[in-house]
Structures are given as C-alpha cells and as structure tokens.
C-alpha cells in the first residue's frame, strides 16, 4: 500500500477551494454589488423577502457567499469559511429541494455543500494563506 502524495492532495484541495470559492464569490458579488450580471442587494432582498425570507438572513447568506467564497479561494480562515458555506448551502438545498433535486435544482447547492464539507474536514492544506501564516508562526514562536 502506498502513501498519498501530499503535494497532489494539497493541489486537489486547492482546486476544490477555488472551484467552490469562485462560484460563491461570483454569486455573492452579483447579489451584493450587482456584478457579473447580478441584481444587487436591493433587488436580491426584495426577491428573497417575496419567497418568505427575512432581510437579515438574505444579508447573511449573500455576504457568506461573497466573503466565504473569497476566503476559500485564498485559503484564509478556511475551516470557518467552509463551515459557514456548508450551513448556507444546506439551507439552500433544503429550500430548493421541493422543486426537485436533479436538472439544476437542489443538486447544485447540495454539491457545493458536500465539497465544503470535504474542505472543512481536510483543511486548507499547503497551498493556502492559512498554511503560510501557520508555518511562519511555527518558525517564530512567541
């Protein structure tokens, strides 16, 4: 039995972090700023309130996607960001599930949630700001 290649595992986690991070950052930036063809915060709130969500939860979800996505991309506060994304995508999955699971329905946030759980369990690995900061603090103990 062979050992797992640490470099390849770290690169795999980097790819997963970037995949989920970019998707969520783009979606969050669209909701918050109207970037990438999004509608901006005001219309996002109006649309979600029509669906029965409270405005503070819309803010929380939108900024979780925006900030959490960015943090996953750079690998900073990776586990807390992955945890927040997991909860956000769990709520999205539960909300969308009644309309169906496959063909672009609940399967999308569910997939993002599973990837966020993998990141949460594995951690940021070597290609991340978390690793660089932790490595630097290990070299210079206070």
Other CB atoms closer than 10 Å to residue 63's CB: what's the count? 16
Token readout for 120 is: 């949460």
Spatial distance between the Cα atoms of 23 and 10, rounded to a whole number of angstroms = 20
Rounded to 10 deg, the angle between the 6-33 and 40-50 helix axes is 90
In tens, the pLDDT along 68-118 reads: 999 999 999 999 999 999 999 999 999 999 988 988 799 999 999 999 999
Q: How many contiguous H segments (helices) and E segments (strands) does the chain have?
A: 6, 0
In tens, the pLDDT along 1-43 reads: 567 788 999 999 999 999 999 999 999 999 999 999 999 999 9
Spatial distance between the Cα atoms of 142 and 128, rounded to a whole number of angstroms = 22
Asked whether 39 and 28 are in contact (CB, 8 A), the reply is no
Q: Whole-model pTM?
A: 0.90
């Amino acid at each position: 039995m062979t050992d797992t290649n640490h470099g390849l595992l770290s690169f795999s986690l980097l790819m997963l972090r970037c995949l989920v991070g970019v998707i969520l950052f783009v979606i969050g930036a669209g909701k918050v700023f109207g970037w990438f063809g999004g509608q901006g915060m005001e219309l996002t709130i109006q649309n979600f309130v029509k669906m029965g969500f409270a405005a503070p939860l819309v803010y929380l979800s939108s900024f979780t996607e925006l900030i959490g996505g960015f943090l996953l991309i750079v690998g900073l506060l990776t586990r807390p960001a992955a945890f927040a994304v997991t909860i956000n995508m769990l709520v999205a999955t539960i909300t969308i599930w009644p309309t169906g699971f496959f063909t672009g329905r609940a399967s999308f946030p569910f997939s993002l949630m599973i990837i966020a759980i993998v990141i949460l369990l594995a951690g940021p690995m070597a290609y991340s700001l978390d690793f660089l900061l932790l490595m630097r603090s290990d070299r210079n103990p206070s």
